[in-house]
Amino acid sequence: MKLKIAIQKNGRLSEKSLHLLAECGIDISNENRILKAIAKNFPLEILFLRDDDIPQYVEQGVADIGILGENEVLEKNRKIDILYRLGFASCKLCLAIPKDENYPGLSYFEGKKIATSYPMILNNFFQKHQINVQIEEIGGSVEIAPNIGISHAIFDIVSTGSTLLTNGLKPVETVLTSEAVLVARKNLSEKQKKILDQLIFRIKAVHNSAQNKYILLNAPNDKLDKIIKILPGMRAPTLLPLATPGWSSVHSVIQEDTFWEIIEQLRNLGAEGILILEIEKMIL
């Protein structure tokens, strides 16, 4: 019994998807991405596909699970479940208009023509806001549409906004923020669910390790109470006496996003010799 996972063959998600599987300890024998590869040490078969096709193939059971952008999942609107947000390939889907135009709010779009490769997401958005627009579906290079007279505005993926700017456009509304997600088909068998649970368990361990750092520091014993309060650790920090009387070594785990703030507080409390180490894997 194997679980079949669909990942993008060639594109922004490909390397990161393979990297994630590698960090989960899954060794993929054939990386030339012809169509399929089989993991050597985990019951997983990897299918390399265009991201647009992944929702359909997962729905139909060609693949059991898949990794793709949430934007494609919502656009294709297939009967599949989003199981886990993977935190990479983040992007925004925005409405953009000619940069010299005044923007009074969503009412601007009433009766306007908007070019996009994401008609489903856009249509849902304007229906929700009860605004009538004309959606012009185009495959790529959406940002040139207003200049060549195809549309008034566009709806597309925006990362830095520089492509918009060079085409004389400005973003005015963010309709969706997207990232890579793990999806699964309905009705997996019990055996497949078990393999999937194992995979998600590993993905979580990889994520936790990326979001956390191991910290070691030396502190005077009379400050330990305060230091321990700001360093909760997994259960509680580890304390070890130093050879110098009156001092201890404190070991703990801190979150990446609170990192600098905490270091500052620790230094103010008299912590010294602070070491921060990467965590390889973290099982909670």
Residues that bind Mg ion (CB under 5 A): 51-52
Whether 215 and 253 have beta carbons less than 8 Å apart is answered as yes
- DSSP conformation letters of 45-78: EEEEE-GGGHHHHHHHTSSSEEEEEHHHHHHHT-
Q: Is 71 in the site for ligand ATP (CB under 6 A)?
A: yes
Kindly indicate which of the ranges 49-57, 194-202, 205-213, 241-249 contains the residues binding ligand ATP, using the contact rule CB under 6 A. 49-57
Touching ligand ATP, residues 105-164 (CB under 6 A): 157, 159
| 181 contact partners, CB below 8 Å, separation of at least 6 | 67, 68, 69, 70, 73, 82, 83, 84, 85, 86
Nearer to ligand ATP, 8 or 248 (CB): 8
Closest approach of Mg ion to the CB of residue 52, in Å: 4
DSSP H or E stretch at residue 19: helix 14-23
Residues for the chain: how many in total? 284
What's the sign of the alpha-carbon dihedral 157, 163, 167, 173? positive
DSSP H or E stretch at residue 177: strand 169-178
Selected from 50, 85, 207, 223, the binder of ligand ATP by CB under 6 A is 50
Whether 78 and 56 have beta carbons less than 8 Å apart is answered as yes
115 binds, among Mg ion, ligand ATP, none (CB under 5 to 8 A by kind): none
Nearer to ligand ATP, 3 or 91 (CB): 91
Closest approach of Mg ion to the CB of residue 76, in Å: 10
Selected from 2, 12, 193, 194, the binder of ligand ATP by CB under 6 A is 12
Closest approach of ligand ATP to the CB of residue 42, in Å: 24
Q: Tell me the C-alpha distance between 205 and 208, whole Å.
A: 5
Closest approach of ligand ATP to the CB of residue 78, in Å: 15
264 binds, among ligand ATP, Mg ion, none (CB under 5 to 8 A by kind): none
Selected from 6, 8, 115, 182, the binder of ligand ATP by CB under 6 A is 8
Residues engaged in binding ligand ATP (CB under 6 A): 8, 11-13, 50-52, 69, 71-72, 89, 91, 157, 159, 178
